[in-house]
Amino acid sequence: MMPEPRTASLDALLPADMAVKAEQIGVRKAHLNPISMFVLAMLAGAFIALGAVFATTVSAGASALPFGVARLLAGLVFSLGLILVIIGGAELFTGNNLIVMAWASRKVSTALLLKNWAVVYLGNFFGSLGTALLVYLGGQFTFGQGAVGAAALATANAKVGLGFLQAIALGILCNALVCLAVWLTFSARTTTDRILAIIPPIAAFVAAGFEHSVANMYFIPVGLFIKAGAPASFWTNIGRTAADYASLTWGSFLFRNLLPVTLGNIVGGTLLVGAVYWFVYLRQAIPASALAAKAPEPVPIPTEAPSAPAEVAGNGRH
C-alpha cells in the first residue's frame, strides 16, 4: 500500500511525499468531468495570457536596459500567470503533463490521460485567444504611444521565425522548468510557499527565451490582431508598417511555432520531470494486482517423494 503524504508537520513535504501527492492530484485531474475541465482550462489560458500582457507591458520601451535585465523583469511579472493557475485553481496543459506519473503507476488509463490533455489544450487555446482579442479590442497595444504594441509585434514575429527543431528544443527546456515549478508547489503548506516556489523557475524560462505553448496562444495571436487591424496612427507612432511583419501569419503561428513548441513541452514535462520523479519515488509502488499478473508460476510439487527435500522457487521478489 502506498504511504499517504505526512501532513502532521508544518515543514514542507519532502520529495518522496511530493511524488505521492503529484500522483493523487493526477488521478483527480484525470477524473474531472469534461465540462468543468474545459471551463477550468479556459481560465488557465486566460490567466497565462494575463501574465503575458503584464510581461509585454513591462517590456515596452525597455530596450535601454541591458538585455538580461529586461528579460528578467519580463519573467518576474509573467509568473503572475502560473500563480493564478495554481492558487486560483485552473487546468493548464503544460502542468498537466505531470499526470503521466499517475498513468505510469496504472492509476490513470491512457484514454483518460489523452482526454485530459486534449480537453485542457483546447480550453487553454480558447482562453488565451479570447484574452488576446479583448486586449486588442481594448486598444491596450496603443499605450505608450504604441510602445506596447511594438513590443507585442516584435515578440510575435520572433516566435514565428524560429526553426522547427529549435522550437522543439526551446519547448522542452521551457516545460521542464514549468513542471518543476508545479512540482515544487507540491511541497508547499501555505499560499506564500506556493508563490515563492513558482516565481524562480518561471522567471528563468522567460528570461532565457524558452517557448511555452499556452503563452504563445496569446503572444502570437495578439500580434496578428494588431497587424491586421491597427489604425494608421499606430504605425506612424512606431515607425513601421504591417508589411514589415510579412512572416507573421496564422499559418506560421500554428505550424512553425505552436506545433513544435507543443511537442517539446510534452517531452520536457512528461519525460524530464514526471517520468524521472516517478522512476525515483513511485516505480516500486505500482498496484498489487499488476504485480500479481507478472508473478512467476509456482513450481509443482512432485507426486513421487524425492530423495532430498524440494525447494519451491518463485517465492522471492527479484
Average pLDDT, integer, range 65-74: 95
* Chain position carrying cell 511530493: 18
pLDDT tens-digit series, residues 274-302: 999 999 999 986 554 544 444 445 545 44
pLDDT of 318 strictly over 80:
no
Which three cell numbers mark 8? Answer: 502532521
Q: For residue range 9-23, what is the model confidence (pLDDT) as tens digits?
A: 567 899 999 999 999
- Percent share of the chain, pLDDT over 90: 84
Q: Given this model, what pLDDT does residue 280 score?
A: 97
Segment 238-266 shows an average pLDDT of 97
Quote the CA–CA distance of 137 and 279 in Å, as a whole number.
Answer: 48
- State residue 2's pLDDT score: 53
Domains and CATH numbers, the chain: 15-290 (1.20.1080.10)
Helix axes 67-78, 191-208, angle to 10 degrees: 140
pLDDT of residue 181: 98
d(CA 213, CA 236): 32
Q: Identify the pLDDT of residue 316.
A: 43
